């Protein structure tokens, strides 16, 4: 591969891909597969059970299975593209992937080289400066990549596209591909959240109309994220009529991960946040049943905003908060936490603080929309605190000697 890799899949056309048509037929193979199009494996003696003639088409069929789950599709597309682009750079196809190939790919994920070809800043997918990586992947990110690709190869085996799943040969696979940590650590501790919420509410309000609107929008977004623990795409896709009253009680109706429908009770503080936000938008009271407009809106107060726009907005706010806390002489660990925080930290913060407030595990799982209680239990830190306190009983018999 002599040119930088380009994106392979456009998710808006996956329905077309599922019918066996390639993007290359519409755009020209040079636009889509710079330097690697001819290297993608074509069918040979195998008898696949999917309508595909190339690795590219076979993977598109797999991706098309996730069209009803946009966030899953986005993640799976990213990892599949990285694998196909890397295989293309090696002159290989999916049927040539073995255990040794996986080892090489793991090393590549940690340090994609040559850097100028594979790594770059965030850009639109069809921008000339787009690259598959922002940097080398962390151990947790590499595990997640392998988990996704293990599922891809399992599907390809069943589809008759490849003869074996190389992940089966991975020693200690259950441990190596386990991306679950014992405890959720990426959240804002209660004192830090209290400071952040106070800062959002007491910092100077700009005098211009745009500044006042953005100030109010930041406050609502963080209040919404903290009180209802939404995922980023759930926030961006929320509409006014997702908030409904039943027998005098308000609920938030949401379609979450995997297309699962749920409803979450609205705390009183969320009702107040919603009313204040609607006032900023020029709307009255609480939403009516026929209000289909977006909940979080652009500067024109009409259009919604995308997942990426919302992500950047929250990250920027965390950055400004870190600078403000640093100027106040705040704790270094809190300043660092704000700088590292992502929008998903707000979800972790919400669930953790609900648990600390005494919400039962059963209702906590409902609020988080977890299908397994052991997932929710990772947010319970009580036992860790008790363990730490009891460990203090283990003492040296005599005090350690003073250092000279």
> Residues 353-380: pLDDT tens digits?
888 888 777 787 777 776 554 555 555 5
pLDDT at 386: 59
Q: Is the pLDDT of residue 319 over 90?
A: yes
Q: Are 56 and 27 in contact (CB under 8 A)?
A: no
Cis-peptide into 62, omega within 30 deg: no
At residue 184's C-alpha, the angle toward residues 182 and 190, to 5°, is 140
Q: pLDDT tens digits, residue range 249-285?
A: 899 998 877 677 888 889 899 999 999 999 999 998 8
Residue 355, domain member (yes or no) = yes
Domain count, the chain: 2
State the Rg of the chain over Cα: 25
Q: Of 382, 367, 364, 349, whose CA–CA distance to 195 is shortest?
A: 349
Q: Is there a domain that residue 259 lies in?
A: yes
Tens digits of per-residue pLDDT, 94-147? 999 999 999 999 999 999 999 999 999 988 888 899 999 999 998 888 888 998
Domain identity same for 133 and 222:
no
Query: Can you tell me the distance from the alpha carbon of 70 to that of 75, in angstroms, rounded to the nearest whole number?
Result: 9
Q: What's the longest Cα–Cα distance across the chain?
A: 79
Considering the domain architecture, whether residues 169 and 223 belong to the same structural domain is answered as no
Instruction: Note whether residue 394 is domain-resident.
Output: no
Are residues 28 and 170 located together in one domain of the fold? yes
**56 inside domain:** yes
Q: 401 in a domain, yes or no?
A: no
Q: Are residues 24 and 68 in the same domain?
A: yes
Q: Are residues 163 and 230 in the same domain?
A: no
269 and 164 part of one domain: no
214/293 same-domain check: yes
Structure confidence at residue 303 (pLDDT): 95
> What is the number of other CB atoms lying within 10 angstroms of the CB of residue 331?
13
Last residue of a domain, one of 154, 176, 198: 176
Which CATH number belongs to the domain containing residue 263 in this structure?
A: 1.10.443.10
Which pTM does this prediction carry? 0.61
How confident is the prediction for the chain on average, in pLDDT? 82
Domain hosting residue 280, numbered range: 190-382
CA distance 177 to 111: 19
Residue 387 lies in a domain: no
User: What is the distance between the alpha carbons of residues 196 and 199, in angstroms, rounded to a whole number?
Assistant: 5
102 in the same domain as 217:
no
Cα angle, residue 80 at apex, residues 74 and 84 outer, rounded to 5°: 145
**For residue 79, is pLDDT > 50?**
yes
**208 and 341 both lie in a single domain:** yes
DSSP states along 172-223 = THHHHT----SS---S--HHHHHHHHHHHHHSPPPSSHHHHHHHHHHHHHHH
Q: 3 lies in a domain?
A: no
Q: Are residues 233 and 92 in the same domain?
A: no
In terms of Cβ atoms closer than 10 Å to its own Cβ (0-12, 13-18, 19+), residue 239 is: middle
162 and 201 both lie in a single domain: no
| Domain's final residue, options 176, 206, 234 | 176
Answer yes or no: is 390 within a domain: no
CB neighbour list of residue 163: distance below 8 Å, 6 or more residues apart: 46, 95, 157
Q: How far apart are CA 257 and CA 234, in angstroms?
A: 9
Same domain membership, residue 271 and residue 138: no
């Amino acid at each position: 591969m002599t040119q930088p890799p380009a994106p392979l899949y456009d998710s808006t056309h996956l329905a077309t891909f599922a019918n066996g048509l390639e993007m290359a037929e519409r755009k020209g193979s040079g636009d889509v597969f710079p330097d690697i199009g001819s290297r993608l494996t074509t069918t040979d003696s195998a008898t696949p059970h999917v309508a595909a003639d190339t690795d590219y088409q076979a993977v598109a069929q797999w991706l098309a299975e996730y069209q009803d789950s946009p966030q899953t599709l986005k993640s799976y597309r990213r990892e599949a593209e990285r694998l196909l682009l890397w295989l293309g750079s090696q002159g290989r196809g999916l049927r040539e992937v073995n255990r040794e190939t996986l080892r090489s790919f793991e090393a590549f994920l940690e340090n994609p080289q040559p850097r100028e070809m594979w790594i770059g800043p965030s850009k639109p997918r069809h921008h000339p400066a787009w690259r598959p990586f922002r940097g080398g992947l962390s151990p947790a990110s590499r595990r997640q990549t392998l988990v996704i690709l293990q599922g891809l190869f399992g599907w390809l085996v069943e589809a008759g596209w490849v003869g074996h799943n190389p992940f089966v040969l991975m020693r200690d696979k259950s441990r190596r591909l386990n991306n679950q940590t014992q405890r959720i650590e990426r959240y804002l501790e209660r004192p830090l959240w209290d400071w952040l919420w106070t800062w959002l509410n007491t910092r100077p309000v700009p005098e211009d109309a745009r500044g006042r609107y953005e100030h109010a929008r930041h406050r609502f977004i963080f209040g919404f994220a903290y009180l209802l623990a939404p995922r980023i795409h759930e926030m961006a896709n929320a509409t006014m009529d997702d908030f409904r009253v039943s027998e005098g009680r308000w609920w938030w109706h949401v379609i979450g991960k995997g297309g699962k429908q749920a409803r979450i009770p609205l705390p009183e503080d969320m009702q107040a946040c919603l009313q204040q936000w609607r006032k900023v938008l020029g709307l009255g009271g609480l939403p009516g049943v026929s209000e289909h407009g977006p909940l979080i809106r652009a500067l024109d107060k009409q259009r919604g905003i995308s997942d990426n726009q919302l992500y950047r907005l929250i990250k920027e706010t965390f950055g400004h908060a870190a600078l403000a806390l640093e100027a106040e002489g705040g704790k270094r660990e809190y300043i660092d936490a704000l700088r590292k925080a992502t929008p998903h930290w707000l979800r972790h913060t919400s669930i953790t603080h609900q648990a600390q407030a005494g919400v039962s595990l059963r209702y906590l799982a409902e609020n988080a929309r977890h299908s397994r209680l052991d997932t929710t239990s990772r947010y319970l830190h009580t036992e860790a605190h008790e363990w730490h306190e009891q460990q203090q009983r283990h003492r040296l018999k005599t005090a350690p000697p003073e250092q000279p």
